[in-house]
Structure 1
Amino acid sequence: MTLLTLFSSPKPFTDPHIATIQRNAIASWTHLPDVDVILLGDEEGLAEAARDLGVLHLPKVELNENGTPLISSMFALARENSESPLLGIINTDILLMNEIVGASQRIVSRFEKFVLMGQRWDLDVTQPMEFSEDWQSRLKKNIQKEGQLHRPAGSDYFIFPRACYMDIPDFAIGRAGWDNWMIFKARAEKWTTIDATPDVMIVHQNHDYRHLPTGEIHYNLPETDENMQMAGGAAVTRYTIKDTKRQLRDGKITRPRLTSGRFWRGVEQFLRKLFFFLKEEKVEKVVRPKRWAKIFKKIIGK
């Protein structure tokens, strides 16, 4: 029995660049020790890619009225078709290296219920990767030269024990809101939330959004609005990696270092509790961290 089963629902393999980076990503997962991979959906080219890469393909994932896979169905299928103690949902443009397995082993030995996540590094990748013996060291050198650390608002993977997240709403994959809910849910259930950014490097292969209906990023799509509503509104969808309570650094599980982002997020959460009696739209005007940061700067300036 393997330690971890990664699952994902890829985009169609019709666009040459999307096809290349998805094959790169999935291939990187197959090179990890103690990991199984499940690909979900019936997008064009997916069955062939799964066969070529030697991973399990489950085409019958439930869809919404727009034909977008539902995360609730993805979780159910991954759970039904795996036996590993850990599951991990991940975007199919993300390259992983062995340190993700080491981090998972370290965390599962300490906590019964948790969710592991981390910031990504953005990198331009346009060609098929070669997975020779030193591919991970070569990739890290490229990141050091050309990569850029993404802000904490983006969450591209979540690793958790299979007993967690048994009641997922019918979120649409690839739209905003559901990843914020994952962090909120873990906090609400008092599971250990762990930011692995210092010890685990994950790589996002940059791409455009021609695969979406508007050709632009998903924030303005109706499915994003629906996800936001299912998640619970702005108070929930503001949860990010900054809301984790632990951090994996140098192999040790510690409290996160206080950054300006974490400080102002703490201010925001305090104000949300203080003004719980206000309507959501008014609360948003009061608690925005940038608003209070400007006020603080003015006070200091005087």
Structure 2
Amino acid sequence: MPLLTIFTAPKPFTNPHIAMIQRNALRSWLALGEEVEVLVIGEEEGLAETAAELGIRHLPQVERSAYGTPLVSSMFALARHSNAPLLCCVNADIILTSDILNAGRNLLATRQRFLVVGQRWDLDVDEPLDFSAGWQERLRERVRHEGKLHKATGSDYFLFPRECFNDIPAFAIGRAGWDNWMIYAGRSQGFPVVDASKDVFIVHQNHDYSHLPGGQPHYKHPETLENVRLAGGRRTIFELSDVSHHLVNGKLVRPPFSWRRFWREVEIFPLIKLHSYPLAVGLYFLLHPRKAYREYREGRL
């Protein structure tokens, strides 16, 4: 039985660059060895052929939004067909290393519930990558010279025990909002939400947005607005700075104290402890009156 099932809903393999970077990502996950099972979900063009070629388990039937986008809730339900104790939802352009296995194994030894998230490194990749012996070291060296650490906003991977996240709203995958909700949901359910950026090295292969309507980033897509609505509103849009723990050298540690973090914890207290959105909005008005009034006028509270 594998320790970890990695699952994803790739984009169509029709764009040559998107197809290439997705194949790189899938091959990196397979290169992690027998402890990992890879699961691809959906019926996007070229997916069945790629899964067959790489020997990856493929589940084509996934529920979709009105726009035809796979739903996160359906993806998570399908991933539970695996018997692995750990699940990891990952964007299909992300290269993973053995760090993800080490983090999951260490945490699973002491915790029954947790969520691991983290920052990515961005890298321009224009060629199929070599995953022969030593590939992780070569990749780290390349990223050190050519890569750029992405800002600490959402996350591109979500590692958790299979007992967690049984009730997911019908978010559209690949649109903003749902990844932020995962951090909020973990905090509100009281288990460790862990920023593993220091211990888990992942690489995002840069790409354009030609696969989206108008070539616009997903932040501007109508499904992003729907994701935020399903999340419960903008106050549930948490970032990596809102985690409860960091993973450092395999150990859980609390984030260092700062006044900024203190006041942020005060701000989110009604959400994660009292589970009251109206109280959270009221406190937001008290702490950020100008921003809150502007968002109220724009209908974004």
TM-score under structure 1 normalisation?
A: 0.89
Corresponding residue for 2:88?
88
Equivalent position amino acid for 1:242 in 2: S
Alpha carbons 1:5, 1:86 under 8 Å: kept = yes
Residue 241 of structure 1 deviates from its aligned partner by 1.3
Aligned-residue identity in percent: 52
Asked if 1:185 is matched to 2:185, the reply is: yes
Distance in 2, Cα, partners of 1:100 & 1:290: 41
Shift of 1:17: 0.7
| Cα 1:283/1:207, change in 2 over 3 Å | farther
**Partner of residue 240, structure 1:** 239
1:33-82 CA-partner distances (Å, limit 9, x unpaired): 311010000001111111121110111111111110011110111102x0
Which aligned pairs between 1:36-47 and structure 2 lie closer than 5 A?
36-47=37-48
Deviations 1:120-149 (A, max 9, x none): 011111100011101100100011111111
| Distance (Å, rounded) in 2 between the aligned partners of 1:131 and 1:235 | 42
The 8 Å contact of residues 181 and 231 in structure 2, kept in 1 or not, is answered as yes
Q: Is 1:22 paired with 2:11?
A: no
Residue 102 of structure 2 corresponds to residue 97 of structure 1: no
Q: Decide whether aligned partners of structure 1 residues 261 and 154 sit closer, same or farther in structure 2, where only a CA change above 3 A counts.
A: farther
Residue by residue over 1:73-128, the C-alpha shift from the partner in whole angstroms, topping out at 9 and shown as x without a partner, is: 10111102x00011110000100011110111001011111111111011111100
CA shift for structure 1 position 289: 11
Q: Is the 8 A contact 1:264 1:289 kept in 2?
A: no
Amino acid of the structure 1 residue aligned with 2:115: V
CA positional deviation for 1:267 = 5.9
Q: Given the superposition, is the C-alpha separation of residues 259 and 141 from structure 1 closer, same or farther in structure 2, using an over 3 Å criterion? A: farther
1:23 aligned partner, one-letter code = R
CA separation of 1:290 and 1:149: change in aligned 2, threshold 3 A: farther
Instruction: Return the letter of the residue paired with 2:242.
Output: D
Deviations 1:3-58 (A, max 9, x none): 11010000001111101110000100001131101000000111111112111011
Written as runs of structure 1 = structure 2, the 5 A alignment for 1:73-84 is: 73-80=74-81, 82-84=82-84
SS in 2 for 1:139: helix
Deviations 1:162-205 (A, max 9, x none): 11111111100011111111111111111111111101111000
Match of 2:150 in 1: 150
Distance 2:29 2:259 in 1: 34
Structure 2 counterpart SS, 1:22: helix
Partner in structure 2 of residue 210 of structure 1: 210
Letter in structure 1 aligned against 2:98: N
Task: Tell me if the contact between 1:268 and 1:289 (Cα under 8 Å) persists in the aligned partners.
Answer: no
Distance 1:128 1:188, change over 3 A: same
1:254 matched to 2:250? The reply is: no
Deviation at 1:256, TM superposition (A): 2.0
Query: Residue type of the partner of 1:145?
Result: H
Change (3 A) 1:261 1:15: farther
Q: Gaps (5+ residues) in structure 1?
A: 292-302
Residue 6 of structure 2: SS of its match in structure 1?
strand
Q: Distance in 1 between matches of 2:176 and 2:149?
A: 20
Contact 2:72 2:172 in 1 (8 A): yes
Number of residue equivalences: 289
Q: Where does the alignment leave 5 or more consecutive residues of structure 2 unmatched?
A: 292-301
Distance 1:278 1:73, change over 3 A: closer
Q: In 1, distance between residues paired with 2:28 and 2:280?
A: 46
Indicate how the Cα distance of structure 1 residues 269 and 42 shifts in structure 2: closer, same or farther if over 3 A, else same. same
The 2-side partners of 1:11 and 1:289 are apart by 41
TM-score (norm 2): 0.89
Q: 1:12 to 1:251 in 2, by over 3 A?
A: same
Q: Which residue of 2 aligns with 1:298?
A: none
Aligned to 2:63: 62
